[in-house]
């Protein structure tokens, strides 16, 4: 039987989501806890992966097992007892055997948090960036992403993907109390894409890069033309969307 886990984590202490041979990952922690509780080796597959230091307010993964002999609520409680305080399981859903945490996701959303006054309580959760910013210009530049398809210029070099095309559905900055927050939603993201976009928009904000230049960067498909990547610790995966039928054990199966 297949199950979906919904969970969140603070990524500061981890070498990203994906299991690594010589470094601690979120995936490893959850797999070890599940394997201990269920009495057999459990492997989980995430809806995506986050880099070292990146956080997730909502993440999903799926796993297969026939050894769950308790309620989902009880398993959530017991699993949280095995996990460190910076990883929290929210729900466990029984799903159809063909449901897939990665392939069935219809969109993913991220935010990036930026502060312009030093705040010790946000040291590892928001980027302290002192220079004055032209947020209107940054939002004009961000709007260009909605009409573009190929985002190779914002992708990590030597990444193994079949396509650099992404359907960006929202991209904008807004003020939230003492924070500037960048929101972006797309059907998929390339590795390092959001951080490279934020770095490029900060270049626009300080007047280093024009809006026309951002359009040229997009058409160039050249990572060296875009800005430097913003630090990982300001980035949060906030939402992953699925068809409503995904959480019905008798619902639609994965198309892949």
Give, in order, the Cα–Cα distances in Å from 138 to each of 76, 207, 208. Answer: 42, 10, 12
Separation of alpha carbons 252 and 24, rounded Å: 35
Q: What is the total residue count of the chain?
A: 256
Separation of alpha carbons 69 and 1, rounded Å: 12
Provide the Cα torsion 156, 158, 162, 164; round to 10°: 30
Nearby residues of 253 by Cβ (< 8 Å), 6 or more positions away: 96, 97, 98, 99
Separation of alpha carbons 206 and 199, rounded Å: 11
Separation of alpha carbons 198 and 247, rounded Å: 34
Catalytic site residues? Answer: 51
- Among 107, 256, 211, smallest CA distance to 167 is for 107
């Amino acid at each position: 039987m297949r199950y979906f886990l919904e969970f969140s984590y603070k990524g500061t202490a981890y070498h990203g989501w994906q299991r690594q041979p010589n470094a601690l990952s979120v995936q490893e922690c959850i797999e070890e806890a599940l394997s201990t509780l269920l009495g057999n080796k459990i492997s989980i597959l995430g809806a995506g992966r986050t880099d070292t230091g990146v956080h997730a307010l909502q993440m999903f993964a799926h796993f297969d097992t026939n050894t769950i002999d308790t309620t989902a609520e009880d398993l959530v409680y017991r699993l949280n007892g095995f996990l460190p305080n910076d990883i929290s399981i929210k729900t466990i859903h029984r799903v159809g055997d063909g449901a897939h945490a990665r392939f069935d996701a219809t969109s993913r959303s991220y935010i990036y948090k930026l502060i312009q006054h030093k705040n010790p309580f946000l040291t590892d959760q928001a980027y302290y960036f002192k220079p004055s910013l032209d947020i209107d210009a940054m939002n004009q530049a961000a709007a260009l992403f909605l009409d573009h398809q190929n985002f190779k210029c914002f992708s990590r070099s030597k990444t193994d993907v079949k396509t650099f095309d992404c359907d960006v559905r929202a991209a904008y900055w807004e003020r939230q109390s003492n924070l500037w927050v960048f929101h972006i939603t797309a059907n998929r993201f390339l590795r390092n894409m959001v951080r490279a976009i934020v770095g490029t928009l900060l270049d626009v904000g300080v007047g280093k890069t024009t809006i026309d230049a951002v359009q040229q960067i997009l058409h160039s498909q050249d990572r060296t033309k875009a800005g430097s990547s913003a630090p990982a610790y300001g980035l949060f995966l906030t939402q992953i969307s699925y068809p409503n039928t995904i959480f019905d054990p008798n619902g639609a199966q994965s198309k892949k």
